[in-house]
Amino acid sequence: MPRVLASDGMDKSAIEQLKSLGYEVDVQFYEPDALGDALKDYDVLVVRSATKVRQPIIDKAVEGGRLKLVIRGGVGVDNIDVAYGREKGLIVTNTPAASSNSVAELAIGHMFSIARYIGIANATMRAGEWNKKAYEGTELAGKTLGLIGFGRIGRLVAAKANALGMNVLYTDIIGPAKDEVPCEFCDVARILSDADYISLHVPMADKPILGKDEIAQLKDGVFLVNTSRGGLIDEDALIEALDSGKVGGAALDVFSEEPCKNEKILSHPKISLTPHIGAATKEAQQRIGAEIVAIITENVPV
């Protein structure tokens, strides 16, 4: 009987389906120093964001000769040393389409939050304050949204933003989109200078995409949204720009350190915060689970 370890959990329906097909499924989180040895007894590892599958873990796991497949339930795979795993004979894959719409909707939701002060107004009202005059917001309609990264999620954000009446610019290392997209391809420099909102949809990079130098080039009062990867925005430079008014507001679902412990980030009134919940919808988790089941049954049959 093939054994599956879902170290960061998995949708209940997917677990039940795998068990009905003859797989044994364990849901248990292992610390890094124990994960490699534990994997010697499993055929499949399924992770989300919490579990990091690095070279030492892979080395330990393959010693057992049993592990065949590693799946990231989500879009990015930067918490897995993918190339190294494949060199060691493992199949390493993800579920890129399943959670895209959920992340795109959260990005749009955060734009509304920072445009209309929804988060801070909620908090101050609960503290007994009635700051109606302090929260004069702006509309999204007519504003320019700049998308850095134009994969599945970026395209969905573009479509939703267009429906709201926003003008959309985008840039991507692949170049202009080949299909008809009602938005304009440009370079990063134009997005930095012209966009009223900037939303990031790229993998983790060696350094921040928006560091101190890039933030200096932004349009005054710009709003920044990051539902992609922590570290893409220099958090210290962001705080400085928010305090000076260079950046009008920011929305963050991901952070350099998770859980986030940066008090300046956590307490800043111009930041809308969520705890890395881009894919945390019932629909996305069901789609991710179904895709995981399909991958497992194809590559590690009973």
Q: Which residues are catalytic?
A: 229, 258, 276
The first and second tokens of residue 260, run together, are 């986030």
CB 283 within 8 Å of CB 4: no
C-alpha 176/C-alpha 24 separation (Å) is: 45
40 closest CA partner among 59, 57, 64: 64
Pairing of strands 144-148, 69-72: unpaired
Whether cis (ω within 30° of 0) applies to the bond prior to 176 is: no
Please give the C-alpha separations between residue 38 and each of 143, 149, 177, 235, 236, in angstroms, as whole numbers.
52, 37, 44, 36, 39
The first and second tokens of residue 192, run together, are 């930095």
Strand partners, 80: 53
C-alpha 7/C-alpha 20 separation (Å) is: 20
- Burial class of residue 70 in the structure, from the number of CB atoms within 10 Å of its CB (0-12 exposed, 13-18 middle, 19+ buried): buried
Could you give the residue ranges of the DSSP H alpha helices within the chain? 12-20, 32-38, 55-63, 82-87, 100-116, 118-126, 152-163, 188-194, 212-216, 235-244, 263-266, 282-299
Sequential DSSP letters for 47-101: E-SS--B-HHHHHHHHHTT---EEEESSS--TTB-HHHHHHTT-EEEE-TTTTHH
